[in-house]
Amino acid sequence: MLRPSRQIRIIIIFLCIGFSLLYLKTPKDHFINLDQFKYTLSGATYINISALFNHHISIQNDPLLDILSHKAFSNNIYDVTVFPYFRRKSHRARRDEVTLTTWATYDRFDRLIDLATRNQGTISVVIWIPPSDELATPQLIGLENLIRENSAISEKVDIHLVTSNRPLLHNTWRNIARSFATTDWVMLWDIDFIICTDFQAGLDTFKTSGDEKWVKQLAEGKAALVIPSFEWISGTEYHSCPKNKQDLVDNYRELKLDAFETSNPVLSHATDYTRYMQTDQPYKVTNFEFSYEVYAIFRKDINVWCDERFAGAGYNRAACTASMYLSGMDFYVLADQWTIHQPHKSTSFEMRNSYDTAVSWKTFRMDLCHSVADNLAIQGLLHSTEGERIRTLCTEQEIPEINVDLSRLLRTSKEVASHMST
């Protein structure tokens, strides 16, 4: 799937408005009883997944919302079906709170418990359910038990179910979780990271005492706040957080922890961990690289979405980050915030063909560079200072097709500017 078009973005906006209204008018005690979808076959009891996912249409009683949902979150390749607000949180968040957006599969349910327990705010989570009744039934029953036995989840977490033949549509799940968040601010997150600090306090402090220009950018959806990510590389405390910033710095200097996936530095190099260790003030990311990945806070309504062509592990978060940065957004690192990655065993879900992933990454960069450059060119801006970011980063990709396209669009940009000046 290509970068969401203007039409699709408009559809998603209307969809968000529609489901926000649905959310507000749905009773707090609304509960989907799974018993009504159960049937018995050869002595075994199953849940009818098709009937369950179709049920949300009758709940919202609005065919238009169902059409918009299908248009915004499905495509001919992956055939995604969405059940928004399968379980609603009991807490009504303020609009200015940060909603953590993430997704999970059944083998990460324990991580969801930890996330809800540690996080002080609300969570919008997408949970993938297999389309097979046989496989889905124990997972849904496990999910019901999870909600019933953990008050942090029932209080703080909005759960949205999705089903597709592909479980690892990372960016599709991220877009869905963000779309159905109920606050003005969201945090792009992964289920395997520990909540170590108070992100809401970090946002509030930035908004009240940060650089005036940066604060304005953030409020206008032209910036995001980066939470630096780390991982333990020695010792046994893989599931714990440093006690405070000084403790983190000490462990970093003693080589007990390092930047997340430090073996592949391009993923985090732009965060500038050396500077992070030396300051307690926010600072701007100045050395962006195309594979850079961020865990970030930003306005829910920014006009940028994660590219949904990626089906499997690899490059998907980098695609989100690149789309944000090349749209003109700036990144500011919060020097008093951090998170720690929890290692996990690889599962069959994560198997992929590396050639397929490389193809998706290449075509993504070609499409993104073309769409952003083309938009600037028709305004006569690509050859100006406003086009410097796209010209520099896309040329660095050393993809011949991008360079040919940029040369053509640069000529167009100059011609447009010339006509506009006469």
pLDDT tens, N- to C-terminus, the chain (422 residues): 344 445 555 555 555 555 555 554 454 545 688 999 999 999 999 999 999 988 765 555 455 555 555 555 554 467 888 899 999 999 888 999 999 999 999 999 999 999 999 998 999 999 999 999 999 999 999 999 999 999 999 999 999 999 998 888 999 999 999 999 999 999 999 999 999 999 999 999 999 987 899 999 999 999 999 999 999 987 666 778 999 999 999 999 999 999 998 777 677 889 999 999 999 999 999 999 999 999 999 999 999 999 998 888 889 999 999 999 999 999 999 999 999 998 866 654 454 455 667 888 999 999 999 999 999 999 999 999 999 999 999 999 989 999 999 999 999 999 999 988 87
Task: Give the integer Cα–Cα distance in Å for 181 and 313.
Answer: 24
Task: Give the integer Cα–Cα distance in Å for 22 and 172.
Answer: 22
Task: Give the integer Cα–Cα distance in Å for 101 and 119.
Answer: 12
pLDDT of amino acid 352: 46
Determine phi and psi for 240, rounding to 5 degrees.
Answer: -125, 165
Cα–Cα distance list, 213 to 209, 257, 287, 329 (Å): 11, 34, 20, 13
The answer to whether the CB of 102 falls within 8 A of the CB of 125 is yes
How many CA atoms lie within 13 Å of 321's alpha carbon, on the beta-carbon side?
Answer: 25
Task: Give the integer Cα–Cα distance in Å for 304 and 310.
Answer: 16
pLDDT of amino acid 85: 92
The answer to whether the CB of 80 falls within 8 A of the CB of 172 is yes
Which of 257, 112, 120, 100 has its CA nearest to residue 174?
100
Specify the CATH number of the domain 6-352. 3.90.550.10
Helix, strand counts (H, E) of the chain? 15, 15
Alpha helices in 236-292 (DSSP H): 245-253, 273-278
**Cα angle for residues 53, 55, 60 (degrees, 5° grid):** 115
Residue the block writes with tokens 């649905």: 22
Indicate the domain borders of the chain: 6-352, 359-421
Q: Which helix (H) or strand (E) holds 402?
A: helix 400-421
pLDDT of amino acid 146: 93
pLDDT of amino acid 13: 53
**Cα angle for residues 225, 230, 233 (degrees, 5° grid):** 175
Cα dihedral across residues 197, 203, 205, 210: positive or negative: positive
**What is the arrangement of strands in the sheet containing 229-232, beginning at the earlier edge strand?**
193-195, 339-341, 229-232, 257-259
Q: What amino acid occupies position 373?
A: A
Q: What is the DSSP letter of 43?
A: T
